[in-house]
């Protein structure tokens, strides 16, 4: 698990500023280790909401705690990177993942060996 600063840990536990489901998703995202990625769907399943992949995507897009909550480690089910709202867009997301040891296939998607099934 990633080391989460205490202030962020407190915000994830109880805060009216963020929806409870987002806090739950961000907590699950924090458990994705460097060098691995999870899909929006697998992250949704890990919190007991198997049909909430789009909610996971919204939570990632609105993540105020990046990079401590590593939203760049969440990808589409086909291994493609999906979106990235931080500066530099999807190119920056790929560079971050490459620096963490994530491998990519010939078609540009994340290598299956790096996919983490979180549920």
The 10s digit of each residue's pLDDT in 58-92 is 999 999 988 889 999 999 999 999 888 888 889 99
Mapping DSSP to helix (H, G, I), strand (E, B) and coil, where does residue 7 land?
A: helix
Q: Kindly list the domain boundaries of the chain, sorted by start residue.
A: 6-114
pLDDT score for 2: 62
Tokens standing for 88?
């530099």
Place of tokens 């987002």: 22
- Whether domain 6-114 has CATH 1.10.10.10: the reply is yes
Q: What is the pLDDT of residues 8-52, one digit of tens each?
A: 777 777 677 889 999 999 999 999 999 999 999 999 999 999 999
Backbone angles phi, psi at 100, to 5 degrees: -85, 0
* Catalytic entry in 25, 43, 71, 81: 71
Annotated active-site residue 71? The verdict is yes
Q: Please state whether the predicted TM-score (pTM) of the whole model is above 0.75.
A: yes
Query: Looking up tokens 């401590």, which residue turns up?
Result: 68
The pair of three-digit structure tokens given for residue 85, joined into one six-digit string:
């709202």
């Amino acid at each position: 698990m990633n080391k989460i600063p205490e202030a962020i840990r407190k915000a994830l536990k109880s805060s009216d500023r963020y929806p409870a489901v987002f806090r739950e998703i961000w907590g699950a995202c924090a458990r994705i280790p460097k060098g691995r990625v999870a899909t929006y769907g697998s992250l949704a399943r890990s919190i007991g909401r198997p049909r909430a992949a789009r909610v996971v995507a919204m939570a990632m897009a609105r993540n105020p705690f990046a990079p401590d909550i590593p939203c760049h480690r969440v990808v589409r089910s086909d291994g493609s990177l999906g979106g990235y709202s931080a500066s530099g867009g999807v190119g920056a997301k790929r560079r971050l993942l490459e620096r963490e040891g994530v491998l990519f296939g010939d078609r540009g998607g994340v290598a299956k060996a790096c996919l983490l099934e979180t549920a």
